[in-house]
A and B are shown apart, each in its own frame.
Chain A
Amino acid sequence: MSDMEIPVGPQHPALKEPESFRFELEGEIVKSVDIRLGYVHRGIERACQDRTWVQAVYLIERICGICSHSHTTCFCQAVEDIAGLEVPRRARYIRSLIGEMERIHSHLLWLGLAGHEVGFDTLFMYAWRDREVILDALEAISGNRVNYGMNTIGGVRRDLTDRDVEELRSAIRILEERVGYYTDVALEESTFRNRLEGVGKITKQQAIDLGTVGPTARAAGVNVDLRRDDPYAAYDEIPFNVVTAEAGDLLAAAEVRLGEIRESIGIMKYILDNLPDGPIAVKAPRRIPPGEACSRYEAPRGEDIHYVRSSGGDKPERVKVRAPTLANINAVAESMKGVRVADIPIIIAGIDPCFSCTDRMVRLEDRISGRVEVLRWQDLSRRYRR
C-alpha cells in the first residue's frame, strides 16, 4: 500500500470531542502526525472578564464537564486567597469529598472509554454501569449529575444531609467490590492487556522533560501529587497514599487510575467518618480587593493551575487557566511516532484527554511592527520545549 493520509477528527468515533489529527501512514505505521487543536476554543478567559465574580464560577465550571469541580475549586481557592477569606472546615471537607467522587467517576469513565477504544465494549458497559452508582450519589448531593455547581466563593452551596451520608456509604460498598473486580479481572484479560502493554510508553525522564502531570506522570514513576505536595481543601488532614507505577505504558496508567479509585474510596470513608460540624460557607464580598493569586489543584487528569488577578472591581481583571491535558498532550505527540494505526485511539485516550480544557489560543502581537500572529500547536511546543 502506498502512503496515505488518514484524518482522525474533528468528527470521529474515537474522539468524543472535535480535534483534528492527520496521520501520514506507511502501511499500518504512522509516519508523522499533525495535531490541530482549537476546535473547542470558546474564549472563556476573556469572557470571565465580563462576568461578575459570582457568575464567573459557573462559567469556569463549564471549561470542562468532566472535571468541573476541579476547575471551580481551583478558581475559588485563588479568589479566596485574594480576598483573604477563611473557608470553614466543613466546607473544605465537602470540597474534598466531591473532588474524590469526581475522581472516581472520571477514572471509571476512562476505564470504560479505554475498553471502548480497543473494541472491548463489555468493559465499557460494565464500567459505565458502575459509574452510575457514583453519579447517583453526586446527583443526590448536588442536584446534577455532571456540573455539580457545589462551589461558591467562600465555601460550598449545599450541605451534606444525614441521608446523603448513608447513601454514600452504601455506594462506597458497591464501588469497593466492583473496583476490586476490575483490578483483578479486567486487567488480567489477556486480549485487553495485550492492547495496553507497551503502548504509549514514555520513560520517567521523558515524563519529566515533557512536563506531564497527573496519572500520566505517575504511571511513568514520577511521584508527584499536589494533594500531598501542596495540600489544599482538607487534604492536609486526610491520610492517603500516592499511587505510582514504573512501566510508563498504558497498562501502568490503568493500574494507577484503578489504584487511585481505591485511594479515593479510602479518602471518602475518612471524610464521612470525620466530617466536622459547622457552617458551610462564609459570605463573600461582591467586590474582591485588588491582588493576584495562583492556585493549584490535583484534578483527575493532573495538575490544574488557575491564575486570577483582581483590580478591586466586581469582575476579575484576568483569569488564566492551565488545564492538565495541555501539559500531557506533548506526551501523546511523543509516543505517537512509529505506532500502528490500531493504537492511535487508545494512545490519544490514554492521557484521558480533555480538549475542552485545553483549547487555548495564543495570539502574539508585536507592538512595534503591529504584526499579529496566532500560534499553532507545533509552534507552541517548539518554542516552549524545555
Chain B
Amino acid sequence: MMLEKIIALSRKSSPWVCHFNSGGCNACDIEVMATLTPRFDVERFGIQLKGSPRHADILVCTGPVTKQIRERLLRVYHQMPTPKYIAAVGSCALSGGVFYDCYNVLGGIDRVLPVDVYVPGCPPRPDAIIAGIVKVLQKMEADALELGDQGRASAAEGGNSRVSH
C-alpha cells in the first residue's frame, strides 16, 4: 500500500525522542545528550530531543527503576501518543545492572513497561546508542508496513517484551 509506505517512511525519518532518567547515575544521560552534539549530531536522522512526552515517539529510558520513580515512568509513558516505542539504554535500564539487589530498585525498565530495544553498555558509547535507535527505527518501519497500530499493540503483549506489572 502506498499510504502505508509513506507513513512508514515518515515515522522512521522523523523520530522524536523523549529522555527519561528513571534513577540512573547520569552517565547514560550525558551520553544520550552527547548524541545531540556536533560529533554525533542525530539531527542528521531527523531525531530531535523533545521536552514534552506528548510530542515524543520514542521514550529513551536510562537507569534502573527505583520504587519512587515507577509511577512517574508509567505516567510519562501514558502521556505519549501511540505508536510509541521504548529504548532502554544502559545496563541498569536493562536489568538493574550493578544495582540489581539494591532495596529501592525494582530492576530494569521491562519490569514496568514493554521495551522495544535494549542497548547494553555502562554507559553505552553514543555510537552504540545511535545503533540502538536505528534498531528502533527498523522496528517502527516494519510495524507500520506489516502490522499497523493494532497489530503492533498485540505483538508487544505476546512478543519478546516481557511485561509484569
A147–B13 CA distance with the chains assembled, in angstroms: 32
Q: A43–B28 Cα gap in the complex (Å)?
A: 19
Interface centre among A50, A63, A109, A356 (most CB of B within 10 A): A356
B26–A16 touching, CB < 8 Å: yes
Nearest-CB residue, chain B, relative to A113 = B33
Is the Cβ of A146 less than 8 Å from the Cβ of B30?
yes
The stretch among B4-12, B100-108, B141-149, B150-158 that forms the contact with chain A is: B100-108
Is A11 among interface residues, defined by CB-CB distance under 8 A?
yes
Q: How far apart are A157's CB and chain B's nearest CB, in angstroms?
A: 15
Kindly state whether residue B34 has any CB partner on chain A within 8 Å: yes
Residue numbers in A under 8 Å from B53 (CB-CB): 11
Q: Tell me the bound Cα distance from A132 to B31 in angstroms.
A: 11
Those of B33-73 within 8 Å (CB) of chain A = 33-34, 37-39, 49, 51, 53, 63-64, 66, 68-69, 72
Contact size range, A: 35 or more
Closest to B75 in A: A11
Question: Would you call A65 and B26 a contact (CB within 8 A)?
Answer: yes
Task: Return the chain B residue nearest A71 by Cβ.
Answer: B25
* A40 close to B23 (CB less than 8 A): yes
Chain B residues closer than 8 Å to A50, beta-carbon distance: 101
- Report the bound CA distance from A62 to B97 in whole Å: 10
The answer to whether the Cβ of B110 comes within 8 Å of any Cβ in the partner chain is: no
Return the contact of B29 from the options A11, A17, A147 (Cβ within 8 A). Answer: A17
Q: Are A43 and B104 interface neighbours, CB within 8 A?
A: yes
Instruction: Judge if B27 is at the interface, Cβ distance under 8 Å.
Output: yes
A65 and B38 contacting across the interface, CB-CB below 8 Å: no
Is A41's CB under 8 angstroms from B104's CB? yes
**Are A11 and B27 also in contact (CB < 8 A) when A39-B68, A42-B64 are?**
no
Assess whether B15 is interfacial by the CB under 8 Å rule. Answer: no
Whether B102 and A146, one on each chain, are in contact in the complex, defined by CB atoms closer than 8 angstroms, is no
A47, B99: Cβ atoms under 8 Å? Answer: yes
Chain A: CB-nearest residue to B64: A42
Interface centre among A41, A109, A361 (most CB of B within 10 A): A41
Q: Which residues of A contact B26 (CB under 8 A)?
A: 16-17, 64-66, 354, 356
Asked if B122 contacts A147 (CB within 8 A), the reply is yes
A-B contacts besides A47-B103, A65-B29, A66-B30, 19 pairs, CB < 8 Å: A10-B72, A16-B30, A39-B72, A40-B24, A40-B69, A41-B66, A41-B68, A42-B23, A42-B66, A42-B99, A46-B103, A59-B98, A64-B25, A65-B24, A65-B30, A68-B25, A68-B27, A124-B37, A128-B37
Taking beta carbons and an 8 Å cutoff, which residues of A are in contact with B? 10-13, 16-18, 38-44, 46-47, 50, 58-59, 62-66, 68, 109, 112, 124-126, 128-129, 132, 144-147, 354, 356, 361
Q: What is B's interface to A at a CB cutoff of 8 Å?
A: 18-31, 33-34, 37-39, 49, 51, 53, 63-64, 66, 68-69, 72, 76, 92, 97-99, 101-105, 122-123, 125
